[in-house]
């Protein structure tokens, strides 16, 4: 089983709480929580729309929440997904790039499934953004 630090356990709890507020029309509930560089935590949930292209993933919702409060750099993000049709909880490709945009190569992504309002410990996985998106667009690198 993946060992978590205390702040990572708390990040999962914040994501789990946010998941309850997800606006789901056909998909599954997702909650996210980002830890900003200054240690503050910001939650997000997915918001679906009947209009294609609208709505937002929980990860980007949480990052927007951090930005709204003036935090532009994230060090960790926890993602919790509740739904039977998802086997492996993962950010989508767009969110991976977004996490990279507001993180560093070592920004940690913590992923887990939830069931009946609780994290399923056997589903917890942690990766860095560099592991999950090794060929991201990195504006700083491209500009130098
Ligand atoms: Zn996404």
In this structure, is residue 98 part of a structural domain? yes
> Can you give the pLDDT at residue 86?
81
Range of the domain at 64: 6-143
| Tokens standing for residue 74 | 């994230």
In this structure, is residue 25 part of a structural domain? yes
- Tell me the CA–centroid distance for residue 92 and ligand 1, in Å: 4
- Tell me the CA–centroid distance for residue 98 and ligand 1, in Å: 9
Q: What whole-number distance in Å separates Cα of residue 144 and Cα of residue 142? A: 6
In this structure, is residue 77 part of a structural domain? yes
Q: What whole-number distance in Å separates Cα of residue 138 and Cα of residue 123? A: 30
- Tell me the CA–centroid distance for residue 46 and ligand 1, in Å: 9
In this structure, is residue 128 part of a structural domain? yes
- Tell me the CA–centroid distance for residue 10 and ligand 1, in Å: 22
**Average pLDDT per block of 10 residues along the chain, 144 residues long:** 91 98 95 97 97 95 98 97 88 96 95 95 96 86 46
- Tell me the CA–centroid distance for residue 3 and ligand 1, in Å: 25
Count of structural domains, the chain: 1
Alpha-helix residue ranges (DSSP H) falling in the chain: 6-19, 58-68, 93-101, 129-132, 139-143
> Can you give the pLDDT at residue 142?
47
In this structure, is residue 48 part of a structural domain? yes
> Can you give the pLDDT at residue 144?
40
> Can you give the pLDDT at residue 77?
98
- Tell me the CA–centroid distance for residue 66 and ligand 1, in Å: 16
Q: What is the CATH number of the domain that holds 109?
A: 3.40.140.10
Q: Is the distance from CB of 88 to CB of 124 less than 8 angstroms? A: no
> Can you give the pLDDT at residue 143?
47
Coil vs helix vs strand at 12: helix
In this structure, is residue 1 part of a structural domain? no
- Tell me the CA–centroid distance for residue 55 and ligand 1, in Å: 10
In this structure, is residue 121 part of a structural domain? yes
- Tell me the CA–centroid distance for residue 88 and ligand 1, in Å: 14
């Amino acid at each position: 089983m993946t060992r978590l630090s205390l702040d990572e356990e708390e990040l999962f709890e914040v994501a789990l709480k946010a998941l309850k507020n997800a606006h789901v029309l056909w998909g599954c509930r997702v909650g996210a929580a980002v830890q900003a560089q200054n240690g503050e935590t910001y939650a997000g949930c997915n918001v679906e729309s009947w209009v294609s292209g609208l709505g937002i993933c929980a990860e980007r919702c949480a990052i927007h929440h951090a930005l709204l409060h003036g935090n532009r750099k994230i060090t960790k993000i926890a993602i919790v997904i509740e739904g039977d049709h998802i086997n492996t909880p993962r950010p989508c490709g767009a969110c991976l790039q977004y996490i990279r945009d507001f993180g560093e190569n070592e920004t940690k992504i913590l992923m887990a499934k939830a069931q009946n309002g609780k994290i399923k410990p056997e589903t917890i996985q942690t990766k860095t953004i560099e592991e999950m998106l090794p060929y991201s667009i990195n504006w700083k690198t491209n500009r130098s």
